Amino acid sequence: MKAASLASTLTMSLLLAACGGGGGGGSTAGDTAPSIAATSSATPASSASMTSAVSTSATASADIAGSTSSNTAAATANPVTSSTTAASTAKPIFYGVNGHNNEGGAYDISSPALQLSQLQSLGARLFRNEVYNQASANKLAGIAKTMAAGGVTVFPILLSGIDYNSESDAYNAGYTLGKQTASAYRYAYYEVGNELGADALTGNVDGVYPQHFDNTKFQKARGVIRGMIDGIRSVDSSGKIVMGGGAWMHYGFDQMLASGTQPDGSGGHPVLSWDITAWHWYSDQGDITHACGGTGCHDVLAALQQLGKPIWLTEFGVRPEYGNDDQIAVYLVGGTMMAQFAAVASKYNLQAIQAYQLYDDPDGGEGAYGLLKNDGKTQKASYSAYQRFVANNPR
């Protein structure tokens, strides 16, 4: 979940952030997956890698989410802890926050117990964190256990780029990461990929049409996601699959995944199925129900709703350059962010929103997006604004 540079709300293309609004026309701030080139599962975040240990599947995967066709025996035999306990599922999960426990900084300064107390104080019930190899998956598993005991559900965002020679190579890497993640801990939710649609854009385009995506890049992105889902399902047949957060107006990417089509206009390709559609939205992108770019204005939530799945905003936030801390706090809970999301939730089947992020990054990171400063303890105006909003708008 690293930052990318910002772009204009209307027509400028975004640089991909692995978690944070990448792609044409909007902006980004979030998780960029480390490059994947080696095979060590203990590689640090700056050069994380995933092994390719599974042969390529060329068949369609329409039964991916909730499928029993994968190796359910492996899930039964693997004695990993499940997060789907009474403690983690008894309360509503509409409100959540992003974290970066595998990225260091304030997340290393603050213990999981302290982070839990802060999330509880905010009223946040979901905590999204990145994984990208075995070591990061193992670390997050321990944090997930602590959080679950305190009523907060951790879920992983599986990070990968598309720097592969072929779709089959991408599939293999995704499968390995999916299996590593689910083997480390049985999560209630797994988010597969992060803004990969932005990686596959042809350039400065909105991403609403198939021709806005590069065919070869799309195939590799599809391979990564298919592999992640199959890898998870080889261990865990019950955790819900969250289709990796898209950004801006790039919903043409998800539409092709769901229909088995490609940017070149061909059909009959693997059809992906999932349980929840994730999306990202930032302040410089304006109104998510009336987003305007080179192709005109679009209701992004309506387009996502047509995919037939519940929607989660797994990242939303205010750009640090928007103004001072007080101005950012006002925008965060205002009419094109939390207030709007809560107001339209039932209309669009919007079931959860996660603020980006708990702590500011250190100097040189992606910026001061946090609800707290990068000492891990100093609350910003956004912290109290978020806290009051949740208290006044229980869900």
Q: Taking residues 86-106, report their average pLDDT.
A: 81
- Condensed to tens digits (0 to 9), the pLDDT of residues 41-92 reads 332 232 232 233 323 333 333 333 333 333 333 333 333 555 444 334 446 7
Global pTM reads: 0.83
In sequence order, what E strands does 71-140 have? 95-98, 126-131
Proportion of the chain above pLDDT 90, given as a percent: 76
pLDDT at 287: 98
Backbone angles phi, psi at 281, to 5 degrees: -145, 130
Domains defined for the chain, CATH in brackets:
48-392 (3.20.20.80)
In sequence order, what E strands does the chain have? 95-98, 126-131, 153-158, 189-192, 240-247, 276-282, 291-293, 296-298, 311-317, 350-355
pLDDT at 364: 87
d(CA 326, CA 293): 29
pLDDT at 92: 79
Q: Taking residues 24-28, report their average pLDDT.
A: 42
- CA 44 to chain centroid, in Å, comes to 20
- Condensed to tens digits (0 to 9), the pLDDT of residues 312-363 reads 999 999 999 999 999 999 999 999 999 999 999 999 999 999 999 999 999 8
Report the DSSP pairing between strands 291-293 and 296-298: antiparallel
Length of the chain: 395
The pLDDT confidence band at residue 303, using thresholds 50, 70 and 90, is: very high
- Condensed to tens digits (0 to 9), the pLDDT of residues 202-230 reads 999 999 999 999 999 999 999 999 999 99
27 has a pLDDT exceeding 90: no
Taking the CA atoms of residue 288, residue 291, residue 295 and residue 300 in that order, the dihedral angle to the nearest 10 degrees is 10
pLDDT at 53: 30
22 has a pLDDT exceeding 90: no
pLDDT at 347: 98
Q: Residue 7: CB partners within 8 Å, gap ≥ 6?
A: 13, 14, 15, 25, 26, 27, 28, 284
